[in-house]
Amino acid sequence: MLKSLLSKLCFLTAQVAFALSTSALAQNSVMGFPFESLEVSVFDAKLNKDIVLNTQLLVPASPQPWSVVVLPSNCTGKDDHFWTLMVPALIQKGHAVVLLDSFSPRGFSTVCANKFQMWQEARVADAIAVLKKLQKDARIDPNKIALGGHSNGAVTAFMSSFVDSSRVIKTDALGFAAYFAVGAACDLTFKLPKIWAPLLIISGEKDDYTFPEPCLAEATRLQAAGNDVTFKIIQGANHNMSTSGWFYSSQVQRMPKGIPRMYMRGRDEKGALHLELDDGSQVTALDMIKTHGGFLLSKTRGGTIGGSWDKFSEVSALIFDHLDRAGLKSR
């Protein structure tokens, strides 16, 4: 009898332990993948203080050292739908993934309707801070860390790819092994046409939120200077790489169509962003908004968003080919 009771007790204990461990794993998972939080601090010049970023490392089953793809979110922050598609694809290919949420540590969840809540260059500083952290992690190949994203995250990757970004933004002079930008706005850039590593830019043919023409112009300029840049148009696709399920939103904030290319020169002590145009004239960002924003800034609002992401397979195939060529081989 005693032996029987002890056997049942052991069985129940094992069941409880299993339930507790399963619960803990579920609480410590993102999209069904186990993760660990990375403690990464960065100084925010606008806020004039250090903040701790919200970063999560998701790991594959492949052996170490891992190649890593850092994904800064789009303007929706932690609700980035591109993450839900890209993360499983990257993990399946044997890459570790770092999800970078720049917004919640600064007190907001999205910047879709107000891009001025944080400076875009702060997102570049965030990405460089994460890169420094990863390069010191023995589990990670320091030469195989890529940066890419969609929309606002794509702008982060695009701007980070420029060698001159470290001088203008005042970050450490560090570059990733590869960059990809899906649905980026390429109007704001850097005058020195030199990038750290291969860059892939993907635009939707019918994107009226981040227009493809500035990205084509930038790709052409960088290619002419000898950089490894690939520009791809997804036929029939909108901003979210979709050919169906779109809707128009008058609330999203964007660059005015046809605004001249702007080279970032830096900010003054009051936080004003100073720019240079192709004709050599020097202006501020506020000057450009007043000149090109339209009545009540009507030209800075509106775009087709949403969609089925039915072109994702085409997009991801381009990304993985790009990563493979840059040395981040699928395993």
Rounded mean pLDDT, 46-51: 94
Please determine, for residue 57, whether its predicted confidence score (pLDDT) is greater than 80: yes
- Mind listing the pLDDT tens digit for each residue in 238-286? 999 999 998 999 988 899 899 999 999 999 999 999 999 999 999 999 9
Count Cβ atoms below 10 Å from residue 259 Cβ, excluding itself.
Answer: 19
- Mind listing the pLDDT tens digit for each residue in 144-175? 999 999 999 999 999 999 999 999 999 999 99
| pLDDT band for position 298 (cuts 50, 70, 90) | confident
Helix (H) / strand (E) element for 30: namely: strand 29-30
Decide if 246 contacts 307 (C-beta within 8 A). yes
Return the axis-axis angle of helices 312-325 and 81-92, rounded to nearest 10°. Answer: 50
Judging by beta carbons within 10 Å of its beta carbon (0-12, 13-18, 19+), is residue 135 exposed, middle or buried?
middle
Helix (H, G, I), strand (E, B) or coil at 167: helix
The rounded distance, in Å, linking the Cα atoms of 127 and 133 is 10
The rounded distance, in Å, linking the Cα atoms of 16 and 110 is 40
| Sequence-separated (6 or more) residues with CB below 8 Å from residue 220 | 231
For CA atoms 260, 289, 185, 282, give the dihedral sign.
positive
Q: What is the pLDDT of residue 83?
A: 97
Q: Which domains are delineated in the chain?
A: 34-246+307-325 (3.40.50.1820)
Residue 203 vs residues 9, 150, 169, 230, 239: alpha-carbon distances, Å: 61, 10, 26, 11, 7
0.75 exceeded by pTM: yes
Rounded mean pLDDT, 190-207: 98
